[in-house]
Structure 1
Amino acid sequence: MSSPPSRKPSARRADATLHGILHVANRLRAARRSLRGLDATLRRPGSYRHPAGGIVRIETHISVVYLAGRFAYKVIKPVAPGFADFTSAATRERCCEAQLRLNRPLARGLYADVIPIARRAGVLALGAGGVAVEHVVKMRRFDEAMLFSSLAAHAALTPRDVDGAAKRLAHYHLSAPRNAPSSRYGSATLVRTQVETINAPLLANCSHPALPGIAAWCARQLDELAPLIERRRAEGFVRGCHGDLHLDNVVRWRGAIAMFDCIDFDDALRWIDVAADVAFLVMDLRARAEPRLANRLLNRWLETSGDYAALSLMPLYIAYRALVRAWVACLKAGYVAGRNVAVPQPALRYLEVAREQTQNPAPVLLLCHGFSGSGKSVASRALADLCGAVRVSSDAERKRMRPVSDAQMTLGAEHYTQAARHAIYDHLLGLAHGVLQSGHSVIVDATFLETSHRSTFFALAERLGVPARILDFRADPAVLAQRIEARQLGPRDLSDADTATLAHQLASADALTPEEQALTLSFDTAVPMAAFDSPEYWRAVIQWMQPRMEAVAAASRVTNAAC
């Protein structure tokens, strides 16, 4: 008897796909049967072992949260949304345990426990003995008005909030796990797949004039940056990150900043380059708050982490994160399928952020100049927030080059010798070089009182074809001394300069040459500190940078008009 003909591979694949769909459907039905009555149980105040008050129920596409008194209880729904499969009770339990474990480092005290739910005498009960049919994550409640998304919506998000978030995230990244469970995580190949996986449905289902150009730019960036992505992966910058840092997942809580609800269901989305992690929050601040706060977050994260090499990847990762949120907004609006569908309004702001990354202005080099106490550090921080330049600080880098404990925070005289000064300027030169090559403008915050140091930086600008200017910050010597004395009596400051340092500077500083004076913009810092935040104070430097800034703004207006 002859054997039956073998089936074609395509038919076998179709059978396997159908079998998988049926398997998921069966598990969904089984899960829903086993959890019958769970929602009613968690809606009853008497189900909880503490005063619950009126229960508030909040549902997302993969979970339901019940707000009960001082706590919140999160249940993972038995769903299979495509990016994950939660139809198995064991999978949901593992995710609950992962949420508790993975979120605690960035959300101190917010995650309390994982609570089993068992059926006792035919009734579901929290924390009951017996075999658990479900698990919930117990969290301490916070004021939802303190979410960064709510604060941003009401223009109440402050620079202090952003500073806290930047430092919290940078310190976490510095100590985050580095033993990735797979060598493919964070690889150039996987990053390409992740970006293409987002671009494909946007191109197929949404009608927006910027989408083809953004997708083409992403492809070029992936080609160009693949070696850097791989090098950073080899150097250990792919770490166990948060992975989902939008404004809805960051909150003011108990006098600090907490970041919660990290990616717990897909290691490939959590084990990423730290640059991709911070890029998410930078992106969402640009989309939903204001550019100044986004610029501030990036600068504070860079100053704390010292990871200026991440800047080369930042435009790509910001664009990718913006595309992810744009597609999520499309899904929420019901845009699952269909060609040439108009993009829903919530997605437009994200597509604009992605498009902006493709048209960054040409970089410039700005050198701070001034004696200790001149206010150049405070002023240059405000300018960086305003114009989007990256600021590198001699005070911060000197401490980074010579790590000391808190008890020895003030550096000794050996760190301020002529050789030490040359070393720090050489280090700043290398940082400025890298920042400029990444396509970002840079403000170098140092005294620049020696002609040789200024000349070296102007030579760098000439080699790179980058325009350069000196920002000269001035105040009377008596004011300089008063500021230094007040700084020494106040909160700990990065600067170690004292009045003796100032006296030496006043006696030995090299005057600006006529050629340098022609490239100098002067600023009187004997003004209220709030003046530094005003564009009017910076009119001279903004007017000089305006052609580059206007080029981006003009392109933005053209795109918006086309929409």
Structure 2
Amino acid sequence: MIEQLSKSLNAEVLQTHTSWVLLLEKVVYKIKKPVNFGFLDYSTLEKRLENCKKELELNRRLCGWVYMDVVPISYVDGEYRIEDPSNPVEYAVKMRRIPEERLLKNMLSKVSQEDMKELARHIANFHAKAERRDEFGRLEVMKFNTDENFLQTEKYIGITIDKEDYEFIREKTEGFYRKYSDLFEKRIKEGRIRDGHGDIRLEHVAFLEEGICVFDCIEFNDRFRCGDVINDMCFLSMELELVGRRDLSQVYEEEYKKITQDEEFDLFLPFFKCYRAYVRGKVNSFLLDDPHYEKKEEAKELASRLFKLSRSYAETIP
């Protein structure tokens, strides 16, 4: 199907472990693969349609003019036809194509401090309007996430993470829970737990003529998208610091803190940045076990850098 569609549309095909992306000059079609990873289930046509609709709805909150529609793909007279409703066998999310040069990851040499302040305001405003999801703010939920991380990375000790770093990060995380358990309830009561984005990264932020677009949020698992607003916003802080732009990260954080008037911002920020760097270190470590992934040395080196970054954040956890 993908090969035939790409030829008929004259489209370039990008592939992730969960999707095929057909790139045309002006638009993009994103088709979900029939996979089930436990935390993500696209195994049936019904589930893929449901997640396409959810992706459209959730991403329109931060990037309304880019996300256009969910469209059917029909099989007619021996060929696949996109945007044909006559015999749907698959579905795709249709989007405007974002120019590569407008992505933040490609603008780091020219993005200004005012741009970063505007981005902070954009995300703070989004969080203020987003649906409250108090159930995801409980300490037990966050601890489930961090326990899962430590369990899943034990096998990479001595490969991508040093044993001493692993134990230090784990102890600092557990110590934070013991010392500040009451603050998790306080943040729930203050409305700091929201249905966020879940994946605010350099490659998911674009500065467009219409305004700032933060796209490709996590639609497939509420646990990865909903939570403390600091946990959501600071993914970008961590990524900026990973590429050596602490200056931009600091401006972004200070503006977000000023707008939100969050009393616990400085307390929770290193804790959540430690968590974010660790998650990315884990995900890159997983690539070492993927038989189809060819750039294993690059993945190993990046995972090691991320775990070291996580360690540096852990050292600043109060």
Please give the TM-score of this superposition, normalised by the length of structure 1: 0.52
Q: How much does 1:335 deviate? A: 6.8
Q: How much does 1:86 deviate? A: 1.0
Measured in 1, the distance between the counterparts of 2:199 and 2:33 equals: 19
1:485-537 alpha-carbon deviations (Å, 9 max, x no partner): xxxxxxxxxxxxxxxxxxxxxxxxxxxxxxxxxxxxxxxxxxxxxxxxxxxxx
Report whether the alignment pairs 1:161 with 2:139: no
Report whether the alignment pairs 1:201 with 2:156: no
1:330-350 alpha-carbon deviations (Å, 9 max, x no partner): 2234379xxxx9981112332
Sequence identity, in percent? 27
Instruction: State the match for 2:171 in structure 1.
Output: 216
Larger mean CA deviation between 309-318 and 101-110 belongs to: 309-318
Q: How much does 1:126 deviate? A: 1.1
Measured in 1, the distance between the counterparts of 2:24 and 2:229 equals: 35
Counterpart residue identity of residue 287, structure 1: L
Counterpart residue identity of residue 104, structure 2: F
1:141-197 alpha-carbon deviations (Å, 9 max, x no partner): 111122222233xx334323312211110111111112x3xx532211010010111
Superposed CA RMSD in Å reads: 2.1
Q: Is the 8 A contact 1:205 1:335 kept in 2?
A: no
Q: How much does 1:117 deviate? A: 0.9
1:11-43 alpha-carbon deviations (Å, 9 max, x no partner): xxxxxxxxxxxxxxxxxxxxxxxxxxx202320
Measured in 2, the distance between the counterparts of 1:251 and 1:114 equals: 22
Q: Is the 8 A contact 1:285 1:291 kept in 2?
A: yes
Q: Is the 8 A contact 1:203 1:212 kept in 2?
A: no
- Greater RCO structure (CA 8 Å; 6+ sep): 2
- Rate the CA distance shift 1:63–1:275 in 2: closer, same or farther, 3 A: same
1:56-79 alpha-carbon deviations (Å, 9 max, x no partner): 111111111111120011011111
Q: How much does 1:253 deviate? A: 1.7
Measured in 2, the distance between the counterparts of 1:355 and 1:310 equals: 20
Instruction: State the match for 1:33 in structure 2.
Output: none
Match of 1:133 among 89, 113, 116: 89
**Structure 1: which 5+ runs fail to align?**
1-37, 48-53, 361-437, 440-563
Q: How much does 1:130 deviate? A: 2.4
Instruction: State the match for 2:69 in structure 1.
Output: 113
1:304-358 alpha-carbon deviations (Å, 9 max, x no partner): 222232332111111111011111222234379xxxx998111233222211122
SS in 2 for 1:133: strand
Match of 1:184 among 135, 138, 157: 135
Q: How much does 1:260 deviate? A: 0.5
Counterpart residue identity of residue 6, structure 2: R
Q: Is the 8 A contact 2:156 2:285 kept in 1?
A: no
Instruction: State the match for 1:270 in structure 2.
Output: 225
Match of 2:204 among 245, 249, 263: 249
Measured in 2, the distance between the counterparts of 1:301 and 1:249 equals: 18
Pairing of 1:295-314 with structure 2 (within 5 A): 295-314=250-269
- Rate the CA distance shift 1:288–1:335 in 2: closer, same or farther, 3 A: farther
Instruction: State the match for 2:5 in structure 1.
Output: 42
Pairing of 1:28-177 with structure 2 (within 5 A): 38-44=1-7, 46-47=8-9, 54-152=10-108, 155-177=109-131
* Rg larger in structure: 1
Counterpart residue identity of residue 50, structure 2: R
SS in 1 for 2:21: strand
Q: Is the 8 A contact 1:149 1:288 kept in 2?
A: no
**Structure 2: which 5+ runs fail to align?**
none
1:35-58 alpha-carbon deviations (Å, 9 max, x no partner): xxx2023202x44xxxxxx42111
Measured in 1, the distance between the counterparts of 2:20 and 2:157 equals: 29
Number of paired residues?
Answer: 309
Measured in 2, the distance between the counterparts of 1:165 and 1:334 equals: 36
SS in 1 for 2:31: strand
Measured in 1, the distance between the counterparts of 2:233 and 2:244 equals: 16
Measured in 2, the distance between the counterparts of 1:204 and 1:212 equals: 13
